Structure 1
Amino acid sequence: MTNSDELTVAIISTTTMNTNTKSLLDDLNWKEKLKLPPKDNRPKTSDVTNTKGHNFEDYCLKRELLMGIYEKGWEKPSPIQEQSIPIALTGRDVLGRAKNGTGKTGAYIIPIIERIDPNKNAVQAIILVPTRELALQTSAICMELSKHIQLRVMVTTGGTSLREDISRLQEVVHIIIATPGRLLDLVNKNLAKIDSCRVIVLDEADKLLSQDYNHLLDELLYSIPNDRQVMLFSATFPLTVDDFIKKHMKQAYEINLMDELTLKVPTRELALQTSAICMELSKHIHLRVMVMTGGTSLREDISRLQEVVHIIIATPGRLLDLVKKELAKIDLCRVIVLDEADKLLSQDFNHLLDDVIFHLPQDRQIMLYSATFPLTVDDFIKKHMRNPYEINLMEELTLKGITQYYAFVQERQKVHCLNTLFSKLQINQSIIFCNSTQRVELLAKKITDLGYSCYYIHSKMRQDHRNRVFHDFRTGLCRNLVCSDLFTRGIDIQAVNVVINFDFPKLSETYLHRIGRSGRYGHYGIAISLITYEDRFSLHKIEQELGTEIQPIPKQIDPSLYVAEYQMSGENIGEKQQENSASASANKNS
């Protein structure tokens, strides 16, 4: 097909769409004649079903926009959309916190489309995102929703052709979706005219308000009119949001739907998640929370410590380094918490903890939290704690909701076995564990060669790369993640319904933390371990130590044990797990 043929097809398609749109606008039964996608009957969590019962029509939106919304498959607004859309339509600044995957994009795109004049040849809205992948994803939604209005949407990000952007800007553009650096470059070159733009959105604002982008945002906002509307959306907000609000927002309407966020420590990822919870819970008290971990800028930590800090969330090595340099003063600190204490009390950190606690007052309070405790906890208790109150809920917590299987294989058969599992299982998202960083990268390459989407993450990667992989996997941009034990502790990704131990662990606590990545927050999942001849003793030992049974994998795995669409009530699934366990025992005995 030639370029002229493609142009002809595009014109005919657009003309047809315009004709269909006009006919539907005059039709009282327009809704019945829309081309709707198949209805999504999968069970949904309360963060998208706990609505007030609004309909999109309640917001007096243009019929062309309503047509795009319904043809996208959106039936009713989610909680974040219910709270955001009517406020955003008034032009008021909005500060929205909600979990990923709950409709944040629609919460700002719908009011933007409603307020744009398609007949005005000017950039009327800017949406800033931190990555090209998110920019493309957002633009796709924007174009689908506005397809009956004929809005012109442009994506511009770093690492792409500047010449193409310049060419696009010669045409009509109503909405720009961009990363801050590229847009500012175009503005400074007088190529992007944003003096008529009265709406700017920061999506994934926690990343955009980091040190990497902060000064760029200041410059961009000074380039648009003073009577603009500013909207921030994210799952978490760093302390820098306060400075941004004071500088650029006017009486922002705050929406907070983050009540159910549950994430923990001792890697940097877990430290950041813990700080997010801490800041949300203390937002009305104005506590100052600081995160410090290895692999980040020491200069930034030193700078932050010159200000007021009430709570430090840290990895042991970095904190001790700053304490010994007399930069972090902890002589007035009377509470210390060890989260994921089994890891912190390992040989890697034990001597560091002794040093940190030595610098605290004698009348301190110490709290330890973990799913498992190694023997070293006894030494720590004797040395540093006084009559601790013990809480043990592990009889109900350890493996609830997770059905465990093993498959005996030879080492050289593992990749073939994994390929078979991918083809037979109904995977929403999966995490595959290896015992070394080298094997992580090799396996990820083999999975990609097999044709499956796959990311990998391990402790030897650069921190910013780890952050991006974690973020993208969590937001569902990739189905499979290969990782080392870096990813076993506290990470909460509820879309994961399958965990695979490509390499079987030696320790029961490692096994427990690994398979706990499935079956998060009351959902159900399966864990499958590939067992070689050398692993058989570890398998038996872990079963004994955890008081559980890992069953031989059946030819067919019941989807109701791990696929949301097939799931019954929790009681019935529990019965199903017991039936499988009894069947497995019978097979072993026969």
Structure 2
Amino acid sequence: MTFQDFNFNEHLAEGLDAMGYTTPTPIQAMAIPVIMTGKDLIACAQTGTGKTASYLLPVLNKIGEGDKSHINTLILAPTRELAQQIDQQVEGLAYFTGISSVAVFGGGDGIVYEQQRRAIQNNVDVVIATPGRLIAHLTSGVLKMDRLQHLILDEADRMLDMGFYDDITRIIRHLPADRQTLLFSATMPPRIRQLANSIMRNPEQINIAISQPAVGIDQQMYRVFDNQKIPLIKKILAEGNFLSTIIFSSTKEKVKEVYKELRSAKLKVMAFSSDFKQSEREEILRDFKNKTLPIIIGTDALSRGIDVEGIDLVINYDAPPDPEDYIHRIGRTARAATTGTAITLINHRDEHKLRRIEQMIGKPVPQKQLPEELGEAPGPVPERTRHHNHNDKRGGGNRPSGGGKPSEGGENKDPKKRNKKKKWPRRKPKGDGKPNEGSAPAPSSPVTE
């Protein structure tokens, strides 16, 4: 099958040729015919499978054949980076069609907001928006979507993870009921099903390789102590022929630490964080896409918000808390049928995360031998003791329990003796100094077990 089989209008087909599109990916081959029939669709496909083009192409084809005097399509996305990337794809695919679009997102200054408002007032064909900023335009009265024909939710699972459920339902109340709704998601948790049931009409469903890494990814794993992570990363970067690398960590604080360490090693690297201004983030992504910046470091938000081809290496500084995030992280490489390498560093605290990842992908992640000059690597944590080690800051052996000072004999004091009950002082006798007959014994103080 080729894109010519879809019989897109000539202007859209010209844009496809200009961008080098020839053969559709599996999600495109399955989704495009369904969308062209006008049916609602739930599509579950991992990142990097070409899902954006799978909904853009049939929608742009429909817009090109109809009335362009109003907002035709609304695309909701979880992050400004993804909204901008979708907007760029619309611009490329629709270059010869005359179809217009605007990315609507927060975080910019008043000039950006005004540019978005003017574009909306001029009735652009496609609005790509993050939910929060879109609501701001809706409440201002500028945005009218009473003639909308297409609603698309991209990375719906991520939007719900970020707390946008109520915002999405609020936005949908402003839309006409007679519309085509398309929902794309990498996972299908119960809340996605709940949302789909409330906003869609008898949707078709497509599932493409749910929760499985692309076949072109060379997955590797090193068992390490924490103090071996940075030296190992430096060695990997120095000895490998990697032109484009992303390093993921689960916290912004750790991103900053890794950035400082690699920067001090004279590596050309930048941290990518929500703490940065929008203009700074855009500059970092632009330099990374243009291959003038070889290494960026970020959190899991980056794994969902960046669409760059040609990434050679992904390093997980630590294992992600959710195995689904592992798929999104390593899915940044080996995109569009290319190949790439994904390396995950595992200490004792992350052993249980590794087990969950391996259960999800249905096979073990191959372990690599730690270079001798970095010292001895920790062994795998036995299943029966793994839960005892999650608080070990060094990722090493177990610490003694109890925390009490050892006695002279080398053993901890008997806790029963240590918690021996204390008694209140006896009451002072009344009158003749003799205790009252029938009086109750003095109460003892309570002891917390």
Question: TM-score when scaled to structure 1?
Answer: 0.48
- CA deviation vs aligned residue, 1:396-438 (integer Å, no higher than 9, x gap): 9633100211112222322122223223333222110011222
- Is the Cα–Cα contact under 8 Å of residues 211 and 361 in structure 2 kept in the other structure? no
Question: Partner of 2:106: helix, strand, or coil?
Answer: coil
State the 1:513 CA deviation: 0.7
Name the counterpart of 1:302.
Answer: 117
Equivalent residue for 1:442, pick from 257, 273, 278:
257
- Give the conservation status (yes or no) of the 8 Å contact 1:431–1:498: yes
1:416 aligned to 2:231? yes
Which one of 272, 287, 292 corresponds to residue 99 of structure 2?
A: 287
Q: Deviations over 1:177-229 (max 9, x none)?
A: xxxxxxxxxxxxxxxxxxxxxxxxxxxxxxxxxxxxxxxxxxxxxxxxxxxxx
Q: Which residue of 2 aligns with 1:339?
A: 154
User: Could you tell me how far 1:389 is from its partner in structure 2?
Assistant: 0.7
Q: Give the TM-score, by structure 2 length.
A: 0.62
Give 1:179's aligned residue: none
User: Is the counterpart of residue 456 in structure 1 residue 268 in structure 2?
Assistant: no
Matching of residue 468 in structure 1 with residue 283 in structure 2: yes
Aligned partners of 2:81 and 2:305 also within 8 Å = no
Output the amino acid matched with 1:271. A
Q: In structure 2, do the counterparts of structure 1 residues 555 and 502 end up closer, same or farther at CA, with 3 Å as the change threshold?
A: closer
Q: What does 1:61-80 align with in structure 2 at a 5 Å threshold?
A: none
Q: CA deviation at 1:534?
A: 1.4
Q: Percent identity?
A: 31
Q: 1:491 corresponds to which residue?
A: 306
For 2:101 and 2:297, locate their aligned partners in 1 and report how far apart those are by CA, in whole Å: 32
Map 1:24-423 → 2, pairs under 5 A: 265-296=77-108, 297-394=112-209, 398-423=213-238
Deviation at 1:293, TM superposition (A): 0.4
| 1:15-68 CA-partner distances (Å, limit 9, x unpaired) | xxxxxxxxxxxxxxxxxxxxxxxxxxxxxxxxxxxxxxxxxxxxxxxxxxxxxx
Give the letter for the 1:513 counterpart: H
The alignment partner of 2:284 has SS state of: helix
1:511-530 equivalences in 2 (<5 Å): 511-530=326-345
Higher helix share: 1
Separation in structure 2 between the aligned mates of residue 447 and residue 453 of structure 1, nearest angstrom: 8
Could you list the runs of 5+ residues in structure 1 that have no partner in the other structure? 1-96, 100-263, 557-590
Q: Which whole-Å CA distance do the structure 2 matches of 1:505 and 1:459 have between them?
A: 18
Q: How does 1:559-574 map to 2 (within 5 A)?
A: none
- 1:552 deviates by 0.9
Cα deviation, 1:465-512, whole Å, max 9, x if unaligned, reads 000010111111122111122321263333311100002101122111
Q: Which is further off, 516-525 or 340-349? A: 340-349
Q: Secondary structure at the match of 2:304?
A: coil
Task: Give the superposition deviation at 1:347.
Answer: 4.6
Q: Which amino acid is 2:97 matched to?
A: I
Structure with higher RCO (Cα < 8 A, 6+ apart): 2
CA apart distance, 1:447: 0.3
Two-structure CA RMSD over aligned residues (Å):
2.4
- State the 4+ residue runs in structure 1 displaced beyond 3 angstroms: 395-398
Structure 2 distance, partners of 1:366, 1:548, is 36
Superposed displacement of residue 309, structure 1:
1.8
Q: Spell out, residue by residue over 1:218-272, the C-alpha distance to the aligned partner (whole angstroms, 9 max, x if none).
A: xxxxxxxxxxxxxxxxxxxxxxxxxxxxxxxxxxxxxxxxxxxxxx953222222
Amino acid at match of 1:350: Y
1:315 Cα deviation from its structure 2 partner: 0.7
Q: Could you say which residue in structure 1 is the equivalent of 2:7? A: none
Q: Structure 2: where are the runs of 5+ without partners?
A: 1-17, 21-75, 372-449
Q: 1:554 deviation in Å?
A: 4.0
Q: Which has the greater radius of gyration? A: 2
Closer/same/farther in 2, CA of residues 285 and 98 from structure 1, 3 Å limit: closer
